[in-house]
Structure 1
Amino acid sequence: MKKMFSGRRLFALHIVSPIVFFFVLAGCSSNVQEDGQDKSLKGVPVKEITANINISDTYQTIDNFAASDAWACQFVGNWPDVKRNAIADLLFSTDTSTSGQPKGIALSLWRFNIGAGSTQQAEQSGIKDEWRRAESFLNDDGSYNWQRQAGQVWFLKAAQERGVENFLAFPNSPPVNLTTNGKAFASDGKPNLAPDKYDAFADYLTEVVQGVERVHGVQFRYISPVNEPQWDWSDGGQEGTPFMNENVAGIVRALNTSLERKKINTTIDIAEAGKIDYLYTVDDKPNRGNQVDAFFTSSSPHYIGSLSHVGKVISGHSYFTTSPFDQAVDKRRQLAEKVASVPNLKFWQSEYCILGDNAGEIEGNKRDLGIDPAIYMARVIHNDLTVANATAWQWWLAVSPYNYKDGLVYIDHNKTDGNYYESKMLWALGNYSRFVRPGATRVHTELTGGKTEDNALLASSYVDAANKQLITVVVNAGINAAKMKLNVKGGNIGKVRPYVTTATENLMPGSILKNNSEITLAPRSVTTLVAVLK
């Protein structure tokens, strides 16, 4: 399969075929009245559907929604206070305006990229794009400089100040002090860390965890020691290295020992597969695929599932598997079945942005702040949550300077200052991250009535027992409006408030509705319905 770089990742130039464009259901706008009617949509034919929700029929419990600080935060974290704080508010804030509109999407986990030191190497790093290099805390003499990665550390603290409690640290490459070729990317598709360096790499990671907490006051609850080990990472497009399953297991064993020795409670996350297929099948990567069995089946030579610091989670990325719709669903069903074969194992979708041409549905190239990529993204989230049973969903670049569909907030390509731009992808993710909080449990939801077999309308619901709420996010792949009622079993709900993302609105709160109201949902939009649980 031909691969190329863009935004961050290696990606397939062509995936599959037909076209089911990803749309998200939709939005009671500010025109919605107490009876649920939107006056601006009078005379427009609509589908009439019912969302049948059974609170007693439960699925997975949500852990988090997240994004990564790579790579722009190293610069944006040093921008003028007003601008960097405004960007942090968009990503992390749980506050609302006087109108009740959220000021931010309230991410519940923040991913911190531990740099390998290519920034210190400058042009000699072999990574041409300065924005894809990263600093390292580690000095050549083995000492540490905790004032490095200052921009990223600023965002760590900004997230913490705004209520984020969960942080994950991940390297794309071991530090250049330890790699085989002295670079932050591999040579000839070979692992860039020798087995006799596993212990040193593990001690380095634990030192980073301890140092960031000691000096900056932020604790990493999770650490993910390898990233997309299936790719070769040999072209110098960014920091990265391939690993075989045996390498991953060796690194994790060494890291587990180091964490135990230093009495650190951080949980190890594995294995950030480059696409979800590698979790349940060998696919095209012998010795780098079938990772659920490799790491969590006790008879496997690479079994690490019983180690004290290894989380009962397998993580993978949704790249190259999101189109067309029927194949996306089928892959996620296979993944869910494989994960379910290991008692208590969970799946995290730990990285995604829009890559490739996605069977002609949408291209990754070219920045688009509008609703189309937001709709596509929201459908991906829906399938990952409802078919793959993901307990976490994590986006790639929180902040992007690129002409690509890889960011939530976009910025000018300027290291010291510039403008920032909100994307609809930011607010589409916010329909989930803002309202579906850690600890919420997904419950059975089925749409009936109208024409739903074309997958135009999608919905998922979550019970937030702590806040006594039923959260429903609905998806509309059509160009016409729809009318919907909630039919709740296993519990009672009170009033319902919609929050709407459309081409012109960002989580706009609608009027409070009665629990039996017929809600008019605008075309090509995302709506979250927040109902009080009695």
Structure 2
Amino acid sequence: MTSTFARALAVGSGLALVLGGALSQGPEVAASASPTDDLNAVDTGGSTSSAVIDWNDVRQEVDGFGGAFAFHKAGSIQRLGDPLSGQILDMIFNQEDGIGLDIVRVMVGDGSIDEWGDDIYDGPTETIMPEPGVFVWDDPDWEDVKDDFDAYQIWLMKEAKERGVDTVLASVWSPPAWMKENESATGGGPNRLRDDMYQEFADYLSEYVLGYKEHFDIDIGYISPTNEPDLSTGYSSSEWTPEELNVFVRDYLGPTFAERDVPAQIVVGEAVGFGEEWVRPALNDPQTVDFVDVVAAHAYTGLVDGETAPNPDRWTTSNELGKRIWQTEYMNNGAPRDRLFVNNTITDGLRYANLIGNMFDQVSLNAYFWWWPASNSGADGSNLIRLQNDGSPQGGNPTETGEIRVFKRYYAFGNYSRFLEPGYVMIGADARPVDDVLVTAYKDPETENFTVVAVNNGTDDHTIRFDLDGFPADVDAVVPYRTSASENLKKLDPVAVSDAEFTVALRGSSVTTFIPENFELPALPAMRDVFSTYPAEENDGQSPGLKVTDNPDGGSMITNIRHGTHLEYSNVNFADGSAAGFVEQMGELRMHARVAPMAGGTISVRLGDPRSGPVVGELEVPAADDPDACRRPWTGLCPDEWITVSTDIDTSSDGGAYGVHDMYLVFENHPRHNLRMFNLDYAEFSD
């Protein structure tokens, strides 16, 4: 399947940019397609805070960043076909072209048919042991049928391996039904492993690891015997008490893995809440503790500070023992978080940027996982990349359309995952150099590469001086990569390092990653989206005569707007034209613009070409009450000052805002008039 998204990534916009060249008057300056970035225009005379980063204050090791592909979500990617499926995988796993995830989390199949009963949601995968004593690879026809066994997950693991991922975590949602008290892999009745099946289950997990290596050449590096042991559900699940987990690991799984030389390490916990409670009996048992390689938990409960930080008191035993801690599943879950447009924007991105940094800083986290990195699903906040579908009801086998949505949380997650590799170590930093700013830092002991991540939660810029204490002497510059309301992991110009210091203005509501210039990564393919704002001055091309001047409210704005002028924004991904993603809201999209009226006029939203491209929306800007007052060149605003104008956007698949397009804001008034129409601050979309 070839989609407009795939074509856009393959060929780019291919359009020449029209750059402004007018001379400035008064406070106005001629604008270009790439305005001077605020990181390189620091006002050192203002208030500057300092963050010391200590190269020699070595803390925990980083194991990596991961994501799950359970419940056939790898199939959603595979069905797209090349080149799009390959591009999605690169966006997930490739460090050059994507966010560089390091760990694949898969589901140990149990063969169940869950409550939805269709080929999107039925059983996680086939079980390797559909009945006692019978393994699927014992079938005489195994060589003829094995390509169909667990096909989606095996395809995904191999594709990830080709992209450099060599770590797989396999989690058990439920043992096979014949091992359980309720004879079902799903909830209902006594949803537990039978007491007489503990050894059978340990052997089962051993065979799973050894069999996947023998038959599929896949190394399962980590095994978790239970996913969310504190939850019984209508899909695959199985309940355990903390003491039952201790007994199983101590007396069965640990000894069996040791006796059979099973190479997988044991992950214990994965309870719903972010804490060690389900693992504490095993940690306090001297016979079990050495079998526990990783203590894991999900983060659906147990967070503090507006759900952006862990509770360190829930991890005291793990930290005292120096156990590795993994957060193995989290996403936007539950109303209203998953049902608000804002939860696909920078507001959501900052939430996760804070949570990741706080977990590494406050509980010595070693690895962080998202739930589904990419999936065909509804507007449920479960994914970083949503594979758009045809709108069929949940549970009714929705079909992928070939369009994708990329949320701000993808880029904010990438501000960590793209720049931190397994084997890095966290190093000491002043985590809170000023209110609203979070700083964490990491280094690679082998190469002397390093990563500094700074999150500015405030709406105002903050100027920070980074003091690189004990860093290698040859660090001359750092390269920033920023995610903000208008930017998606944008690579910025290098910032000079002098006397082991560099000073930058962190943009308000942003997360910025700094790495040394000699280890710089390429810019990601430029792609805008409906979840970003569109500052007028941050355009990709504009008509001669348009000017940038300071906005009295702060920031910049475009002025000298006259009839026939325009701004260009390249590669805007409208996906299927929807903002919210719900079936009942498919195709609904609005645009808003913040303007200061003068003579007034129309902002026509055109696609593909500023003159002949289809018009998908028109924003009407009224005239100011006193237009004459606006003709004075030193007047930045008119008496009415800022207002917001809006329009519905045509999102039809035939000529509308559907797929990827270059977008133009074309300014129109009376052709014979040469009046300043209005000043433009920014445009943005909403549902």
Which bracket does the TM-score occupy, shorter chain normalised?
0.7 to 0.9
- Which stretch of structure 1 is more off in the superposition, 202-211 or 130-139? 130-139
TM-score norm. by structure 1 comes to 0.79
Task: Report whether the alignment pairs 1:248 with 2:245.
Answer: yes
Q: 1:481-520: per-residue Cα shift (whole Å, max 9, x none)?
A: 2222211112243310101122333222111121144322
Indicate whether 1:380 and 2:355 are aligned.
yes
Matches within 5 A, 1:204-283: 204-231=204-231, 233-234=232-233, 236=234, 238-252=235-249, 253-277=251-275, 279-280=276-277
Distance 1:338-1:264 versus aligned 2 partners, 3 A rule: closer
Letter matched to residue 144 of structure 1: V
Q: Deviations over 1:392-448 (max 9, x none)?
A: 111111223121122111112435664222222111111111111111111111167
| Counterpart residue number, 1:159 | 160
Matches of 1:117 and 1:440, distance apart in 2: 38
1:430 to 408, 414, 419: 414
Please show how residues 24-423 of structure 1 align to structure 2 within 5 Å: 31=35, 36-37=40-41, 48-71=48-71, 72-95=73-96, 103-118=97-112, 121=113, 125-127=114-116, 131-133=120-122, 134-138=124-128, 140-141=130-131, 142-144=134-136, 146=146, 147-188=148-189, 190-231=190-231, 233-234=232-233, 236=234, 238-252=235-249, 253-277=251-275, 279-280=276-277, 289=278, 291-292=279-280, 294-298=281-285, 304-307=288-291, 310-311=292-293, 313-325=294-306, 329=309, 332-342=311-321, 344-356=322-334, 363-365=337-339, 368-400=343-375, 401-413=377-389, 414-415=398-399, 418-423=402-407
Alignment pair present for 1:528 and 2:513? yes
Over alpha carbons, which structure has the higher Rg?
2
Judging changes above 3 Å, is the alpha-carbon distance between structure 1 residues 46 and 481 closer, same or farther for their aligned structure 2 residues? Answer: farther
Write the distance in 1 (CA, Å) between the matches of 2:34 and 2:512: 12
For 1:216 and 1:510, locate their aligned partners in 2 and report how far apart those are by CA, in whole Å.
43
Structure 1 residues 369 and 216 mapped into 2: Cα distance closer, same or farther (>3 Å)? farther
1:524 CA drift (Å): 1.6
Structure 1: where are the runs of 5+ without partners? 1-28, 96-102, 281-288
Q: Once the two structures are superposed, what CA deviation does each residue of 1:256-275 show, in whole Å capped at 9, x if it has no partner? A: 23323432211111111211
Deviation at 1:130, TM superposition (A): 5.1
Residues 1:501 and 2:483 aligned together: yes
Aligned length: 457
Contact 1:185 1:241 in 2 (8 A): yes
8 Å contact kept, 1:351–1:396: yes
TM-score w.r.t. the length of structure 2 is: 0.62
Q: Which moved more, 1:145-154 or 1:55-64?
A: 145-154
> Aligned with 1:471: secondary structure?
strand
Taking a change above 3 Å as real, the CA distance of residues 170 and 74 of structure 1, as seen in their structure-2 partners, is farther
Q: Which amino acid aligns with 1:114?
A: V
For 2:74 and 2:438, how far apart are their aligned partners in 1? 34
Within 1, Cα distance between the matches of 2:432 and 2:359?
Answer: 21
Deviation at 1:246, TM superposition (A): 2.9
Equivalent position of 1:24 in the other structure: none
Secondary structure of the structure 1 residue equivalent to 2:185 = coil
Offset, 1:194: 0.2
- Segments of structure 2 that go 5 or more residues without pairing to the other structure are 1-32, 138-145, 390-397, 520-687
Find runs of 4+ consecutive structure 1 residues off by over 6 angstroms: none
What letter matches 1:250 in structure 2? V
Return the match for 2:424 from 428, 436, 440.
440
Distance 1:205 1:463 in 2: 36
Q: CA distance change for structure 1 residues 417 and 33 in 2, over 3 Å: closer, same or farther?
A: closer
CA distance in 1, matches of 2:415, 2:408: 11
From the superposition, tell whether residues 489 and 523 of structure 1 become closer, same or farther in structure 2 (CA, over 3 Å): same
Give the secondary structure class of the aligned counterpart of 2:467: strand
Distance (Å, rounded) in 2 between the aligned partners of 1:480 and 1:433: 26
Q: Tell me how far apart the structure 1 counterparts of residues 129 and 426 of structure 2 sit (CA, whole Å).
A: 46
Return the alpha-carbon distance in structure 2 between the equivalents of residues 75 and 531 of structure 1.
37
> Do the aligned partners of 1:136 and 1:175 also contact (CA within 8 Å) in 2?
no
Q: CA deviation at 1:210?
A: 2.0
Q: Secondary structure at the match of 2:55?
A: strand
Q: Which residue does the alignment assign to 1:99?
A: none
Q: Distance in 1 between matches of 2:325 and 2:467?
A: 29
Percent of pairs identical after alignment?
Answer: 24
Q: Which structure has greater strand proportion?
A: 2
**d(CA) in 1 for partners of 2:176 and 2:82?**
31
What CA RMSD, in Å, does the superposition of the two structures yield over aligned residues? 2.8
Q: Is the CA contact (8 Å cut-off) linking 1:36 and 1:517 kept in structure 2? A: no
Contact 2:109 2:128 in 1 (8 A): no
Closer/same/farther in 2, CA of residues 432 and 245 from structure 1, 3 Å limit: same
Q: 1:164 to 1:424 in 2, by over 3 A?
A: same
SS at match of 1:318: strand
Query: Could you tell me which residue of structure 1 aligns to residue 26 of structure 2?
Result: none
Q: Report 1 or 2 for greater relative contact order, CA contacts < 8 Å, sequence distance ≥ 6.
A: 1
- Does the alignment pair 1:514 with 2:513? no
Checking the alignment, whether the CA contact within 8 Å between 1:77 and 1:152 is kept in structure 2 is: no
With over 3 angstroms needed to count, the CA separation of the structure-2 counterparts of 1:34 and 1:318, relative to structure 1, is: closer
1:88–1:159 contact (8 Å) kept in structure 2: yes
8 A Cα contact 2:308 2:354, kept in partner: no
